[in-house]
Amino acid sequence: MRRIPRKVEVEDEFGHVTRYVRHDNGEGYASPRASVHVDAVVEPGAYVEEGAHVAARARVGRYSWIDVDAVVGSGASIGAGVHVGRRGHVGAGARIGAHARLGHDVHVAPGAVVEPDEIVPSGTEVLPAVRRTAAAA
């Protein structure tokens, strides 16, 4: 059986070391300065940066990156290989498709969907799709 380390340290090109601890529900990593609910799932290879908040029942997919001060709301689903930029906000129940890229300060409204591989520019607001129904005659 493969053993996943409880703590890891990552050094950037400037010699700054960032420390992470394994989140028990999913075995991904979170900064000790992040807030990740015990009921949230952070899958292997995923990282949650300092100041970020991941709410209850949220899911962060494999190899995804929740950047500094970003928020993932209750029941939101982040696909594999996604980047949620600095100060990004993914509302409750929103879904972010695999390999999507959300710039900094992106706001995804509750229940909204970002398609796989979509690139959302910084400062954008993503609203839920409006379903149109035929007018009654």
How do residues 20-29 score in pLDDT, each as one tens digit? 999 999 999 9
Residue with tokens 């890229």: 101
Q: Note whether 19 and 31 are within 8 A (CB).
A: yes
How do residues 66-107 score in pLDDT, each as one tens digit? 999 999 999 999 999 999 999 999 999 999 999 999 999 999
Rounded to two decimals, what is the model's pTM?
0.89
Torsion, Cα 105 128 48 122, to 10 degrees, reads -20
Q: So where are the chain's domains?
A: 28-126
Torsion, Cα 65 69 72 74, to 10 degrees, reads 150
Residue of 41 and 137 predicted with greater confidence: 41
φ/ψ (deg, to 5) at 2: -75, 135
Neighbours of 8 (CB within 10 A): 13
DSSP class of residue 5 equals P
> Domain 28-126 carries which CATH code?
2.160.10.10
Q: Note whether 13 and 7 are within 8 A (CB).
A: no
